[in-house]
Amino acid sequence: MATHDDRSNASSGYSDDGYYSTSGVGGGVHHFDDGTQTTTKSDTFTKDTQGFDTTGYTPIADLDKPTTYDNFEDDERKPFGWTASADIGLLVLRLALGGAFVMHGLQKVFGLFGGPGMDGFTSNLQSIGFREARILAWVTAVTELGGGALLILGLFTPLAAAGVLGVMINVLALKYKGGFFAPNGVELEAAYAAMAFAVLFAGPGRASIDNNRSWFRHPLLSGFICLVITAGATAATLYVFR
């Protein structure tokens, strides 16, 4: 609302159409709305008791706060989740470990790749003091062949990894004589055992048939259960049949 005085203020008698205060000093003053808006500081923002603008403007309390990149990044940072890189790593680990044990199983069962066959493997077990060597030979060979194939497919992965781990623990217990490095030490067997242990608790990854099965969703629990089974089977092999 503006105030307009149309009285003559010049000697010629013409109106100067000036704007004056609303005090009414000088008389002859009337009011009209010419579209010009005057505001005061109290009219600029409608604030609640906490000093925030309730009409949609930026909160007054935050106007003087500098915006930094770090604060923005902290607010927008997403939590860590499972990625495709982990799936690729576990797939390669499974293929390498499973492929190696399929080859070992074929050596024992069919005598392929220069292997001893079942007769030669049975004789080997008898020579190191195992009773029921024929049964143990078949159990070991089938575990290596079947466990390796399941690892490649990513099917029943905890059981497959536990079976391979049990075989390697037996080999480590029998072969270790104080040396570690190949060819006379247990370097290769320890590496296989570590790989099987990793798959047992990490799971097969999403590039597997096990994807979204119950043991896939709970790898720690399923890994621990299979580890207990493996420990019992290994103890029975070493102390009952030998």
CA distance 160 to 146: 8
Query: Residue 31 — pLDDT band, cuts 50, 70, 90?
Result: very low
- Report yes or no on whether pTM surpasses 0.75: no
Residue 67's pLDDT is 52
Residue 97 pLDDT exceeds 70: yes
- Interhelix angle 157-175/84-110, nearest 10 degrees: 60
Evaluate whether residue 118 is within a structural domain. yes
Number of H helices, E strands in the chain: 9, 3
Q: Is 111 or 64 the better-scoring residue by pLDDT?
A: 111
Evaluate whether residue 104 is within a structural domain. yes
Q: Residue 159's closest CA among 141, 146, 171?
A: 146
CA distance 88 to 207: 8
How confident is the model over 64-88, as pLDDT tens digits? 555 554 444 545 676 777 789 999 9
Q: What is the domain extent for residue 131?
A: 88-241
How confident is the model over 196-216, as pLDDT tens digits? 999 999 999 999 999 999 999
- What's the number of domains the chain is made of? 1
Residue 151 pLDDT exceeds 90: yes
